[in-house]
Amino acid sequence: MGLIKGVTLQAIESIQGGMAEFYTPQSSDETMVVKVPANTIDDLFVHKHQTDQLLVVKGSFVLVVLYNKQYQYIPLSEDFPQVATIPKGILHGAINFKDRDCLLVNAVLRHGEAKPKDYQPMARPFPYDLDRAKSSLRNLEIVATNLIAGAGI
């Protein structure tokens, strides 16, 4: 199943500079560091005046997107750097199954003045499929492990 219209995933490029690895920055109007606490199942949010560009820098979590009365589960991890872009008007939430917090950078694109309602959680209209969400994260961890092993890291 492909991503819903407007939601994108893009691997980020990096260059090696001595011992450091430099990743492609994301253009933004505002940059936030966000913590998704350990063992969290979050409700949904919708931003009317911003596009989120999410990059996990520590840990992992599952981004949940609601569209056409269906949840889509998008796993994101520090081991597989990619940016998830969520346009304004898309309902989304987060699940962190791990026993450690997940930190991510949100390079926000503003489309107008932020409103307090943009940051107030909304109740889920129906329960998340936690087995499916866990499975999506396990599959990403397998891919990341195979990439690391293949690179000889």
> If residue 124 lies in a helix (H) or strand (E), which one and from where to where?
none
**Residue 135 within a domain:** yes
**Whole-model pTM?**
0.88
User: Are 106 and 32 within 8 A, CB to CB?
Assistant: yes
| Tens digit of each residue's pLDDT (9 = 90 or more) over 61-100 | 999 999 889 999 999 999 989 999 999 999 999 999 999 9
**Residue 95 within a domain:** yes
Q: Can you tell me the distance from the alpha carbon of 53 to that of 121, in angstroms, rounded to the nearest whole number?
A: 19
Mapping DSSP to helix (H, G, I), strand (E, B) and coil, where does residue 54 land?
strand
**Residue 1 within a domain:** no
Higher pLDDT: 142 or 126? It is 126
**Residue 152 within a domain:** no
The string over 51-90, giving b where at least 16 C-beta atoms fall within 10 Å of a residue's C-beta and e elsewhere, is: bbbbbbeebbbbbbbbeeeebbbbbbbeebbbbbbbbbeb
pLDDT of residue 145: 78
Mapping DSSP to helix (H, G, I), strand (E, B) and coil, where does residue 102 land?
strand
* Average pLDDT, integer, range 117-136: 91
**Residue 2 within a domain:** no
| Tens digit of each residue's pLDDT (9 = 90 or more) over 106-125 | 999 999 888 787 778 889 99
Tally of domains within the chain: 1
**Residue 29 within a domain:** yes
Higher pLDDT: 92 or 4? It is 92
pLDDT of residue 14: 81
CA-based max dimension of the chain? 50
**Residue 66 within a domain:** yes
Q: Can you tell me the distance from the alpha carbon of 61 to that of 1, in angstroms, rounded to the nearest whole number?
A: 19
**Residue 68 within a domain:** yes
State the CATH number of the domain containing residue 41.
Answer: 2.60.120.10
87: domain range? 8-147
* Average pLDDT, integer, range 3-20: 84
Q: 145: which 2 tokens? A: 């492990």
User: Are 40 and 96 within 8 A, CB to CB?
Assistant: yes
pLDDT of residue 1: 45
When the pLDDT of each residue in the chain is averaged and rounded to a whole number, the result is 89
